[in-house]
Amino acid sequence: MGYPENVLARDEHVVLHRHPHWKRLLGPALVLLVATALAAFGAGWVNQTDWDVNAKRIIFGVIAALWLVLVGWLSIWPFLTWWTTHFVITDRRVMFRHGLLTRSGIDIPLARINSVEFKHGVLDRMLRTGTLIIESASQDPLEFYDIPRVEQVHSLLYHEVFDTLDSEESPS
């Protein structure tokens, strides 16, 4: 899925577009599996009882409602939040957008970036992800968590900043 072109300036080109790393979806996927297994077990147990048909229907409805609330809140919502989180590098700026109902974001012009760092622990290194830290001229450092292939992104962003500074300093 490409980043929407309507947020780009004229002649601005996307160099990199990433969602957070898929590791953010492991917990929601586990919740989906466990909640589904428990709901199926509960429905199977209720089905084996000698209860009245109407009582069984009510209990099936309660099980389905609980499953829907759990899965919606702990699986679907985190997935949609992941899907609507964008880390974008263009030839002019770094953009970060997130949020499903309430959107927020930040843009950092490449010319204003002072330093770019990354950090990742052992698990992050195995999963090829990490935290990207961008320090700009007027702000405290900004940390962007769970950036896939953070070392490549770091290198790419460094080169984009360097190219931007070179093009501003050299006479046209």
Sorting pLDDT into bands at 50, 70 and 90, what band is 76?
very high
Q: Work out the percent of the chain whose per-residue pLDDT is above 70.
A: 92
Distance of CA 162 to the CA centre of its chain: 27
Helices 53-71 and 26-48, packing angle to 10 deg:
180
Q: Does residue 74 carry a pLDDT above 90? A: yes
Q: Does residue 1 carry a pLDDT above 50? A: no
> Which class in CATH covers the domain with range 14-19+86-169?
mainly beta
SS (H, E, C) 43-105: HHHHHHCCCCHHHHHHHHHHHHHHHHHHHHHHHHHHHHHHHCCEEEEECCEEEEEECCCCCEE
Domain ranges of the chain: 14-19+86-169, 26-81
Q: How confident is the model at residue 3, as a pLDDT?
A: 62
Q: How confident is the model at residue 137, as a pLDDT?
A: 79
Q: How confident is the model at residue 163, as a pLDDT?
A: 81
Query: Which residues partner with 14 through β-bridges?
Result: 90
